Amino acid sequence: MNVIKVLVAGVVSIGAVVSAPVPVASAQPCPDVEVVFARGTAEPPGVGGVGQAFVDALNARAGGKSVSVYPVNYPASSDFGAGIEFARTFVDGIRDAGGHIESTAANCPNTRIVLGGYSQGAALAGLVTSAAIPKEVPAEYASYVPKPMPAEVANHVAAVTLFGTPSNQFLTENGAPPIRIGPLYAPKTIQLCAPDDTICNGAPSAPPTFAHMAYLTNGMTDQAADFAVSHL
């Protein structure tokens, strides 16, 4: 479990960089753009350090459009040894993100949604786009996993921006199902993996390098914001 301990320590340090609270969608009229973002492991509630950097970059490029933010409501737990209880916290995040996106699509049909996540949150966001429940989920647990979002919801999601997404090799070696971006979302998804980031580059499961903590400063949040704006 050294991999997890090192990863958690790094992600916590990223979250500590951002001290100001993230604005959450309020009762104001429907925004032009809404960012739905899942933070990384053990970051405090909100969108986390990478999420805030992405939101700031998107706001700077929004051209006067109103942008609101919805931090995915999930524990971002570091208790990976908790087995099914940890899995439940993760699945609850998938349910929260998907439910919020569906609600926004229904109640604010002109709002363009940008879904994103970092590290554990990127895995969560990727699974939100899935066209089917992963076949690797044991049958006895499949009923707990939320069903895929209706196909028409994809029309309201402008872009999906994922940072440091755990690779399928990393996930498989750690007993998690692989991430399959749904075909309705794949053309508008950008997955950013920093050079030498062993969490996302397909390397065998091993302690993460500092590259996994580099997204705040390596320009990739700007790259993701450019991508998202080009799809609004």
**Structural domains of the chain ordered from first start:** 2-14+42-230 (3.40.50.1820)
Give the tens place of pLDDT for each residue, 103-117. 999 999 999 999 999
Inter-CA distances, 130 with 58, 145, 147, 154, 216, Å: 25, 12, 9, 11, 27
Note whether 157 and 188 are within 8 A (CB).
Answer: yes
- State the catalytic residue, choosing from 78, 100, 167, 197: 197
Q: Can you read off the two tokens belonging to residue 156?
A: 């309201």
Query: Catalytic: 197?
Result: yes
Report the pLDDT value the prediction gives residue 131, as an integer from 0 to 100.
94
Q: In what order do the strands lie in the sheet with 189-192?
A: 67-71, 33-38, 112-118, 157-163, 189-192
Coil, strand or helix: which one is 222? Answer: helix
Query: Catalytic: 100?
Result: no
Query: Catalytic: 119?
Result: yes
Give the residues of the chain that fall short of pLDDT 50. Answer: 1-26
CB-facing half-sphere around the CA of 142: CA atoms within 13 A = 10
Report the pLDDT value the prediction gives residue 178, as an integer from 0 to 100.
87
Q: Can you read off the two tokens belonging to residue 171?
A: 């996930």
What is the pTM (predicted TM-score) of this model? Answer: 0.85
Comparing CA positions, the residue from 53, 100, 54, 51 lying closest to residue 73 is 100
- State the catalytic residue, choosing from 68, 119, 130, 167: 119
